[in-house]
C-alpha cells in the first residue's frame, strides 16, 4: 500500500507542477513571444531573445517532460535552474513573500523540482516503464541445483 501511495504522490506532484508551470508561465511566453523578446530579462548577456528561449525550454519543454515522466531528473535540473534564475536574479530585490512580485512562486517550483531530482518520477512514469528495474527471473534449472 505504501508503494502505491508513494507512486500516486509523485504522479500528483509531477503532473500538478508540470501543468501549472506549462500553462501558467511557459505557454504565455510562447503566445507573446514577439512582444516578450524585446525586453526579456537577460541575466547572462546572451541577448533577450536567447534568454527567452532558455526560459521557454525550462518552463515548456522541461515541464512537459516532467508531466509525462520522461527524463524526469534531467528535466527537473532544467526547471530548477530556470527557477534559481527567476528567484535569485530576476526577483533579486523582491521580498520572499508579498502580494505582488516576490521570490515565493519561483522557490516553490524550485523545491518541487529538487524533490523530483532526489526522488525520481515514481513508478507511474515513462522513465519507469522504459528504464525501470525488471524483476529478476530465475530459470528452472537454477532451482534444481539449489540446496534445500
Cβ-based neighbours of 113, under 8 Å, separated by 6 or more: 17, 66, 76, 77, 79, 80, 83
**Percentage of the chain lying above the pLDDT 70 cut:** 90
**What are the grid coordinates assigned to 63, written together?**
515541464
Question: How far is residue 41's CA from residue 20's CA, in Å, rounded to a whole number?
Answer: 21
Question: How far is residue 104's CA from residue 96's CA, in Å, rounded to a whole number?
Answer: 5
Question: How far is residue 39's CA from residue 48's CA, in Å, rounded to a whole number?
Answer: 6
pTM: 0.86
Band (144; pLDDT cuts 50, 70, 90):
low
pLDDT in tens, 24-63: 999 999 999 999 999 999 999 999 999 999 999 999 999 9
Question: How far is residue 77's CA from residue 41's CA, in Å, rounded to a whole number?
Answer: 20
- The C-alpha angle with vertex 119 and arms to 114 and 123, in degrees rounded to 5, equals 135
* Exposure class string for 59-84: b at 16+ Cβ within 10 A, else e: bbbbbbbbbbbbbbeebbbbbbbbbe
Output the pLDDT for position 60.
98
Amino acid at each position: 500500500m505504501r508503494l502505491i501511495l508513494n507512486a500516486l504522490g509523485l504522479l500528483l506532484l509531477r503532473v500538478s507542477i508540470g501543468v501549472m508551470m506549462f500553462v501558467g508561465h511557459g505557454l504565455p511566453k510562447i503566445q507573446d513571444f514577439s512582444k516578450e523578446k524585446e525586453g526579456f530579462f537577460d541575466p547572462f548577456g546572451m541577448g533577450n531573445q536567447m534568454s527567452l528561449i532558455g526560459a521557454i525550454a525550462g518552463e515548456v519543454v522541461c515541464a512537459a517532460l516532467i508531466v509525462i515522466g520522461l527524463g524526469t531528473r534531467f528535466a527537473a535540473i532544467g526547471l530548477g535552474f530556470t527557477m534559481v534564475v527567476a528567484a535569485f536574479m530576476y526577483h533579486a530585490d523582491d521580498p520572499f513573500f508579498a502580494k505582488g512580485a516576490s521570490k515565493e512562486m519561483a522557490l516553490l517550483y524550485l523545491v518541487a523540482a529538487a524533490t523530483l531530482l532526489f526522488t525520481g518520477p515514481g513508478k507511474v512514469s515513462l522513465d519507469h516503464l522504459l528504464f525501470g528495474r525488471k524483476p529478476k527471473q530465475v530459470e528452472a534449472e537454477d532451482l534444481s541445483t539449489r540446496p534445500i
